Structure 1
Amino acid sequence: MALKLACAVLLMCMVMGAPIAQAAVTCGQVTSSLQACMPYVTGPGGGAVPPACCSGIKSLNSAATTTPDRQSVCNCLKTAAGSIRNLNLNLASGLPRQCGVNIPYQISPSVDCSRVR
């Protein structure tokens, strides 16, 4: 009986002491944050980046605080870069710089997001 109680207490300690995993930033959040950028990156080019686009980029950058978050955002952007019709990759990859944000990868359909830290 004492062994069963000891096992139950040990199991409870393991469950209670286990770290809670933080959910990575979702592609839905990425899409929502960057919606204002779409006309700029799919249009004829030129002109200023919309302020709402830069606001979304800065917000997304602030939300991606962990390596899994940054890798998740990278993978979402990689997928988008390969699937958005009429996407101007030069404009898309230059958005972070245009908005004064430094990200540790290039927005591209060929980026290796597993290397993002």
Structure 2
Amino acid sequence: MSGVALVYTLFGSAEAADRVARQLIAERLAACANMLGAATSLYEWNGVMESTAEVPVLFKTTPSRRDALMARIAELHDYEVPAILALPVESADLAYAKWVAEQIAK
């Protein structure tokens, strides 16, 4: 295990992404969040093909806090069915994993 867990989600605006990311970092559920810039998502919703501008966000946390982070994202998210995905981390730099753990533990 690497000591770092990644959680990926998308928001409908940069403002929503920033608001939720700041709150999750303040709550010590995430050590940091990378807002990856605008993306276009294509999907079918209620029988209609949609094309939506979204902001992908990658949260870094510890494996022990991953599920709590995912649950809190779901609570704060304004989407009816947000994509909240845990991504596998095969390995991580030890110094970085230590920093993530320290940020979560504060």
Same fold (TM over 0.5): no
Greater share of strand: 2
Greater relative contact order: 1 or 2 (C-alpha under 8 angstroms, separation 6 or more)?
A: 2
The structure whose Rg is larger is 1
